[in-house]
Amino acid sequence: MKAIRIHQHGGTEVLTVDTVDKPEPGRGEALVNIKATSLNHLDIWVRQGIPGVPLPLVMGSDGAGVIESLGPGTGDSGWKTGDEVFCVPFRSCGFCRNCISGNEQLCRNYRIVGEHLNGMQAEYAVIPVEYLLPKPGIISWEETAAFPLATQTAYHMLVKKAGIKMFDTVLIWGASSGIGSAAIQIAKLYSAIVITTAANEKKAEFAEKLGADHIVNYKKEDVAKRVKEITGGSGVDIVFEHTGAKTWQHSQRSLKRGGKIVLCGATTGPKIEIDLRHVFMKHQQIIGSTMGNRSDLIEISKMIEAGKFKPAVSKVFEAEQIKEAHEYLASGRQTGKVVIRF
């Protein structure tokens, strides 16, 4: 079978489409024929070199496909061959206090598929049956592969961590990114007022279609100043931050008294300066978040089935075009998710 792998860290030249043996499902596992998978910025970071990544590594956290066979001990799992599924993009121990309480993301053994263990960018993958969920019937394979990691992360940040509610004003960085496009739709489902950023007219039109109320061109405007104008000088209740160093000062300046910055990434760099006086004198909160738990994915699937959320796919590449797909994502030209099809 084909598998997209890296044998060393580096540029796109280290991405290979290898021919490897088709795996066999072990106890408690299913063999899934992968129809589509997607890219996240995590794939770029893993390729470039995250410490502790096992090599060679099959890339990719997201995958959707059809169960081809089931291993021993899966008779009472409820799954059968031919079922259409998607993969939960993490693993946890399953028995610690956090896992039992449904907070798998706090498990000390929390691992991300495609970073800490082999991922989904292959024609076949063996997956523990407890990490499979039914494919939403009303969307395509490409759309199914596009939503798990990014949308789970956005949902957990806004709903579980920031506690978004009706009429909250939210600043969401990067409308055209996979996570930004998901966050806009989720915020609008909660009847929030969304201010987002876009680099050009095409991306602004994309954000408007997703439901954004105000769109700021971050290349031409002072974002924090524009946010204050939009909010009548008060600032926003929530800043959805995933870009890091280049946007941090604008994020903090955009926040109102009692507001929350919830962050999950540092695409533009991890080193920032914080004026602590603003944090404690304005009763502000800075909240970290990484991915989420299975209940998040179940809730998102319900939203999709109800027609309330639609994963945004920017462009679909074939497996053999994996280098071009990485370059496209890194260029920032996308409006939504980048998908790989087998």
Residue type at 217?
A: N
Residue 144 CA to residue 166 CA, distance in Å, equals 28
Q: What is the pLDDT of residue 158?
A: 98
Domain with residues 151-288, CATH architecture: 3-Layer(aba) Sandwich (3.40)
Q: How far is CA 162 from the centre of its chain?
A: 17
**pTM of the complete model beyond 0.85:** yes
Q: What is the pLDDT of residue 342?
A: 86
The CA-based dihedral angle spanning residues 31, 302, 175, 162, taken in that order and rounded to the nearest 10 degrees: -110
Task: Determine whether domain 2-147+311-341 maps to CATH 3.90.180.10.
Answer: yes
Same topology between domain 2-147+311-341 and domain 151-288: no
Question: What is the pLDDT, as a whole number, of residue 275?
Answer: 87
Of 125, 110, 120, 206, the C-alpha closest to 156 is: 110
> Is residue 178 a contact partner of residue 312, using CB atoms and an 8 Å limit?
yes
pLDDT, position 52: 85
pLDDT of residue 175: 95
What is the domain partition of the chain in residue ranges?
2-147+311-341, 151-288
pLDDT, tens digit only, all 342 positions of the chain: 999 999 999 999 999 999 999 999 999 999 999 999 999 999 999 999 988 899 999 999 999 999 999 999 999 999 999 999 999 999 999 999 999 999 999 999 999 999 999 999 999 999 999 999 999 999 999 999 999 999 999 999 999 999 999 999 999 999 999 999 999 999 999 999 999 999 999 999 999 999 999 999 999 999 999 999 999 999 999 999 999 999 999 999 999 999 999 999 998 889 999 989 989 999 999 999 999 999 999 999 999 999 999 999 999 999 999 999 999 999 999 999 999 998
- Non-local (6+) Cβ contacts of 304 within 8 A are 136, 138, 139, 147, 310, 311
Please tell me the predicted confidence (pLDDT) of residue 267: 87
